[in-house]
Amino acid sequence: MQWFIFCVSLLIAGYFVYGKIVEKVFVINPQRETPAYSMNDGVDYIPMSKKKIWLIQLLNIAGTGPIFGPILGALYGPVAMLWIVFGCIFAGAVHDYFCGMLSIRNGGASIPFLAGKYLGRPAKHFMNVLALLLLLLVGVVFVASPASLLTNISTELLGSGSLGAGAVSEESTASGGNLLIFWTALIFLYYIVATLVPIDKIIGRIYPVFGALLLFMTFGMLFGLFFQGIPFFRTLGTDIGIADFFTNMHPTEAPIWPLLFITIACGAISGFHATQSPLMARCTENEKEGRFIFYGAMIGEGVIALIWCMVGLSFYQDQSLLSEAIKLGTPSKVVYDSAIGMLGLFGGILAVLGVVILPITSGDTAFRAARLLIADFFGYDQRNLAKRLTIALPLFAIGFWVSTVDFSVLWRYFGWANQTTAMMMLWTAAAYLYRNNKFHWICTLPALFMTSVCTTFLAHAPIGFGLDYQTAVMVGLIFTLCAHMAFFILIKPKTLEQNQNIKKLE
């Protein structure tokens, strides 16, 4: 228990201490007009209060990643908690803050524009393709997981009906496929509507309700661990010491490096956030709100990830049972079993609904971001509904086609694309700081780390080059060193006179 409290305390301290340092390095300008006012179009650029934006940002970035990822990461043992805490403070929250603030400084620009401006035109073209691919994958995979959980809930409710548990259970089992199709279609329909209408009409109004479910889910699961008297770290069957945080406890002995850092993305660092932060940058009223909105929302996601990591480490009797549950039904089975088991049917269903809204609220904004990304690339005005439809309808048609691909294959590509996008955003922020003679190491160091993670994974994974582990590690190290040298060779700091002229403009 004390380890969990210690980790949460570190996250909160990270917001107040390191978050303030990051803000000082960036140098905010509270007098500068934000795009929410200078570019107000009544659709995507709309001023909103910082509390509402924080909640929308949290719901946008927190899909199933900070739940499924930490559950899968729990197989490695308490080392997963270390990555969530330190990854969130020094990489993920920094990534989100600079993405949001650089977008504000550049008229609500998306990540491809930012990458092109600070890293060069080739980076812009690369990020256009990568970001669009990531958004499509996010939209698709964030349909499957909530549809599956909603199907489980529907089946459970039908099974407890008045016609008799046995008969209804048989009937509900037979109709499970139809229920899954129904929920999938309904979620896709919601995505279409939410993608097209102004951001304050649906997202800005119903997200507070979703937020209440999110809070119930988050703290309800933690309360369930206490109320049921479930020992923390029960799956490990021993008292946890400092040495255990550095021990690989995965049942299949899967290597921590780099798999843990790909497995736990959201909750530590996620490139998907780079596609979402510009959406809220277009609604932020003042630059001084940036730390609360962008850095703070990531810290909130880190807390959610820690709670679900603790559920993974504590709900089952031992590590092998956790592994078996994941094999039988993916992490969604762990979510469902633990919620119902600890909170009962009614409370468990509310908790599962809290999990369901996370991917749904990320999926709708993923398609919205994809629409805006395409519109920005072609310079296509989005104030007219008909023009929004010309982009949205083909986008959803492609998304539906992609959804027919095997889910496990989609998830592997999603994981790599997600962390590679994060790597590129960190290099973009590092280039901005280095060009402007600011302390760039707060972004350069995590950029180097993520470069090594992504290249090692691609070199070793079956979806990549399939090299043996030792060779893949060497390839990752060499590529990272080359990227480091290229950064300082290709990126040139501005002269003192150029910086003075920029300050006058700001």
According to the 3-state scheme, what is the secondary structure of 376-420? HHHCCCCCCHHHHHHHHHHHHHHHHHHCCCCHHHHHHHHHHHHHH
CA pair distance 321, 319, nearest whole angstrom: 5
Residue 253, helix vs strand vs coil: coil
pLDDT along the chain (506 residues), means of 10: 89 98 97 94 88 87 82 92 97 98 95 93 89 82 77 72 39 60 82 70 66 75 81 77 84 90 90 90 96 97 93 88 79 85 84 77 76 79 76 80 70 84 96 96 98 96 91 97 95 72 54
- Write the secondary structure of 39-56 as one string of H (helix), E (strand) and C (coil): CCCCCCCCCCCHHHHHHH
Q: How far apart are CA 444 and CA 427, in angstroms?
A: 6
Contact 466, 410 (CB under 8 A): no
Taking CB atoms within 8 Å and a gap of at least 24, the contacts of 487-492 are 487/427, 487/430, 487/431, 487/434, 487/444, 490/120, 491/119, 491/431, 491/434, 491/435, 492/435
Q: For position 42, what pLDDT does the model report?
A: 83
Q: Which residues contact 417 (CB under 8 A, 6 or more apart)?
A: 130, 133, 134, 137, 271
Q: What is the pLDDT of residue 170?
A: 46
Looking up tokens 């990555």 gives 83
Nearest by Cα to 58 from 370, 366, 281, 277: 277
Token digits of residue 146 = 């909530």
Q: Yes or no: say if 427 and 111 are a contact pair by the CB < 8 Å rule.
A: no
Spatial distance between the Cα atoms of 464 and 87, rounded to a whole number of angstroms: 24
Asked if 458 and 153 count as a contact pair (C-beta separation under 8 A), the reply is no
Residues in the chain: 506
What is the predicted pLDDT for the residue at 20? Answer: 98
CA dihedral over 465, 469, 475, 481, signed as positive or negative = positive
Q: Are 54 and 207 in contact (CB under 8 A)?
A: no
CA atoms of 366 and 182, how far apart (whole Å): 21
* CATH domain 2-420 topology: Amino acid/polyamine transporter I (1.20.1740)
Q: What pLDDT was estimated at residue 67?
A: 86
Model confidence, pTM = 0.85
Question: In 3D, which of 100, 116, 83, 85 has the Cα closest to residue 23?
Answer: 100
d(CA 109, CA 129): 16
CA–CA distance, 403 with 282 (Å, rounded to integer) = 30
Integer Cα distance of 376 and 126 in angstroms = 15
Contact predicate 74/235, CB 8 Å: yes
Find the radius of gyration of the CA atoms of the chain: 22
> By CB neighbour count within 10 A (0-12 exposed, 13-18 middle, 19+ buried), where does 492 fall?
exposed
DSSP symbol at 292: I
Residue 215 confidence (pLDDT): 73
The four Cα atoms 373, 376, 377, 383 give a dihedral, to 10 degrees, of: 100
The pLDDT assigned to 168 comes to: 40
**Number of C-beta neighbours around residue 203 at 10 A:** 24
- Which one, of 31, 58, 36, lies nearest residue 292 by Cα? 58
**Residue environment code for 72-84, b if the CB has 16+ CB neighbours within 10 A, otherwise e:** bbbbbbbbbbbbb
Q: What is the pLDDT of residue 167?
A: 39
**Cα 475 to chain centroid, rounded:** 27
- The domain spans of the chain are 2-420
Q: Which two tokens stand for residue 204?
A: 């800005």
> Residue with structure tokens 């920005």?
376
